[in-house]
């Protein structure tokens, strides 16, 4: 039996690494795509490279640095000089970490690459803990983006799949534990220093998810 | 009264140049975006630059050349070595000129830039003559892409507008004549030589549109 091929939008973070392990455990032949959009935490790309190399899956870095100057005026902490806030991940100030259109751009490019490779599925690891601050992680966005991708790819149909979209991050952690995900190699922190800060919204979300799941985060924080 | 600001996806072709003139005539303050995705007919970018400069509108070229190597395997004539077919624009072989995901990628990036600039509208000049070969010019695609953009941009809402989507290309030509569009400066040909070929699908479509509209195309063909 020929195994199913899929493209995974792969940041090197906890969620997409768990999804990568999940797909592999299901026998899916995964091509990983990591997007370099000039993000402050480029450190995540190194994690993505390390983990995908160890797993022996195809991994490409998609260079979108040409877009970064166009996004600076958004004031997003991830693509401008604006500081990454230290706050709870559903606080109003966490909105400063939103990058305009990030998921839609990544999904569109991934779908275009899938179509070019004759691959029919694109996966992304959106989950419910991100719904409040990141509109492009919500089910209604996912459905619209999926529709757009399906309709755009009429001649070589591509579908979009977000298997964790109704799960919270604690559930993703629990799934990762079962799958043996090397959490210590994944990178979440938006500050992108040598060690994760433990205080930015995504570090706080991660720590809370481990606690809610009843496991210890093996990451060494600052 | 502060004039409405908008972003226009601007190729330098007949349709988007007509839409540019149309928006300006309505007092809209237009920012043009032209996408460099390694297209064979990069010649169109020079047309876009010339026309936007004469009009004195802001014009940025968005560099997406990093994507081109990923699209080559699609075999699309516009981003690979595959020859541009000479055929009628609704022929099966015209599908070779489809670039996977092109409009969705451009719309997503344009929406991200609009959101970063605090601009609430993105325009694109899709029309009904392209429905048969280009799925990403169809009304149902437009509606889905629009939904995805609106939902993605929840904190700084951006809308997508395609005012020509129910018009055929002849109607766009008629509109351009009324607006005084300098058609001779626009570029359509997919072959991207020194002069338009007159035989590729987009040249054929253009010539037919002028004939149906009852005007002569001022372009000098090969």
Q: CA-CA distances (angstroms) from residue A85 to A92, A98, A151, A198, A201? A: 10, 12, 38, 12, 7
Asked if B71's CB is within 8 angstroms of A113's CB, the reply is yes
Asked if B155's CB is within 8 angstroms of A135's CB, the reply is yes
> What is the total residue count of chain A?
222
pLDDT, tens digit only, all 222 positions of chain A: 568 999 999 999 999 999 999 999 999 999 999 999 999 999 999 999 999 999 999 999 999 999 999 999 999 999 999 999 999 999 999 999 999 999 999 999 999 999 999 999 999 999 999 999 999 999 999 999 999 999 999 999 999 999 999 999 999 999 999 999 999 999 999 998 999 999 999 999 999 999 999 999 999 998
Distance from CA of B117 to the nearest CA of A (A): 6
Going by C-alpha positions, the residue among A2, A14, A16, A4 that lies closest to residue A123 is A16
What does R_g of chain A's alpha carbons equal in angstroms?
A: 16
Range of the domain at B36: 5-213
Q: What integer pLDDT is reported at residue B211 of this predicted model?
A: 98
- A101-131: buried (b, 16+ CB within 10 Å) or exposed (e) per residue? bbbbbbbbbbbbbbbbbebbbbbbbbbbbbb
Q: What integer pLDDT is reported at residue B34 of this predicted model?
A: 98
Structure tokens at A84: 């990454």
Q: Would you say residue A222 lies in a domain?
A: no
Asked if A70's CB is within 8 angstroms of B60's CB, the reply is yes
Q: What integer pLDDT is reported at residue A192 of this predicted model?
A: 87
Distance from C-alpha of A95 to C-alpha of A41, rounded to nearest angstrom: 17
Number of neighbours of residue A161 by Cβ within 10 angstroms: 16
Q: What integer pLDDT is reported at residue B3 of this predicted model?
A: 81
Asked if A104's CB is within 8 angstroms of B112's CB, the reply is yes
Q: Would you say residue A179 lies in a domain?
A: yes
Pick from B65, B104, B149: CB nearest A149:
B104
User: Over chain B (222 residues), what is each successive 10-residue block's mean pLDDT?
Assistant: 88 98 98 96 96 98 97 96 95 95 98 98 98 97 98 98 98 98 97 94 98 97 92
Going by C-alpha positions, the residue among B84, B83, B36, B91 that lies closest to residue B59 is B36
Q: What integer pLDDT is reported at residue A2 of this predicted model?
A: 65
Distance from CA of A104 to the nearest CA of B (A): 6
The domain total for chain A is 1
Cα four-point dihedral sign B6, A148, B106, A106: positive
The DSSP secondary-structure symbol of B117 reads H
Q: Would you say residue B201 lies in a domain?
A: yes
User: Residues B108, A108: contact at Cβ < 8 Å?
Assistant: yes
Q: Would you say residue A30 lies in a domain?
A: yes
Q: Would you say residue B219 lies in a domain?
A: no
Q: What is the ipTM of this complex?
A: 0.97
Chain position carrying tokens 């964790």: A164
Structure tokens at B111: 């929406």
- Closest chain B residue to the Cα of A110, Cα to Cα: B101
Q: Would you say residue A218 lies in a domain?
A: no
Q: Would you say residue B15 lies in a domain?
A: yes
Distance from CA of B29 to the nearest CA of A (A): 18
Distance from C-alpha of B192 to C-alpha of B206, rounded to nearest angstrom: 15
- How far is Cα of residue B81 from the mean position of the Cα atoms in its chain? 22
Which pairs from A69-77 meet CB under 8 Å and 24+ separation? A70/B60, A70/B62, A70/B109, A70/B112, A70/B113, A70/B116, A71/A37, A71/A38, A71/A99, A71/A100, A71/B112, A71/B113, A71/B116, A72/B116, A73/B116, A73/B117, A74/A99, A74/A100, A74/B115, A74/B116, A76/A100, A77/A40, A77/A190
Q: Would you say residue B91 lies in a domain?
A: yes
Q: What integer pLDDT is reported at residue A52 of this predicted model?
A: 98
Question: The CATH number of the domain where A129 resides is what?
Answer: 3.40.50.620
Asked if A152's CB is within 8 angstroms of B148's CB, the reply is no
List chain A residues with CB under 8 Å of B156: 100
Distance from C-alpha of A204 to C-alpha of B192, rounded to nearest angstrom: 52
């Amino acid at each position: 039996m020929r195994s199913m091929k899929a493209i995974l939008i792969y940041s090197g973070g906890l969620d997409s690494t768990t999804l990568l392990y999940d797909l592999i455990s299901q026998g899916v032949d995964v091509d990983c795509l990591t997007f370099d959009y000039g993000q402050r935490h480029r450190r995540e790309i190194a994690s993505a490279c390390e983990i995908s190399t160890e797993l022996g899956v195809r991994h490409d870095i998609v260079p979108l640095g040409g877009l970064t100057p166009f996004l600076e005026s958004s004031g997003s902490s991830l693509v401008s000089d604006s500081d990454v806030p230290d706050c709870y991940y559903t606080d109003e100030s966490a909105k400063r970490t939103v990058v305009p259109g990030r998921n839609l751009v990544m999904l569109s490019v991934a779908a275009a690459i899938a179509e070019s490779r004759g691959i029919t599925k694109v996966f992304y690891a959106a989950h419910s803990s991100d719904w409040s601050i990141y509109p492009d992680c919500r089910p209604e966005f996912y459905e619209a983006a999926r529709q757009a991708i399906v309709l755009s790819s009429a001649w070589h149909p591509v579908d979009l799949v977000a298997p964790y979209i109704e799960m919270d991050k604690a559930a993703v952690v629990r799934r990762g534990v079962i799958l043996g995900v090397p959490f210590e190699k994944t990178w979440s922190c938006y500050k992108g220093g040598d060690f994760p800060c433990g205080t930015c919204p995504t570090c706080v979300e991660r720590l809370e998810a481990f606690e809610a799941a009843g496991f210890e985060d093996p990451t060494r924080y600052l």
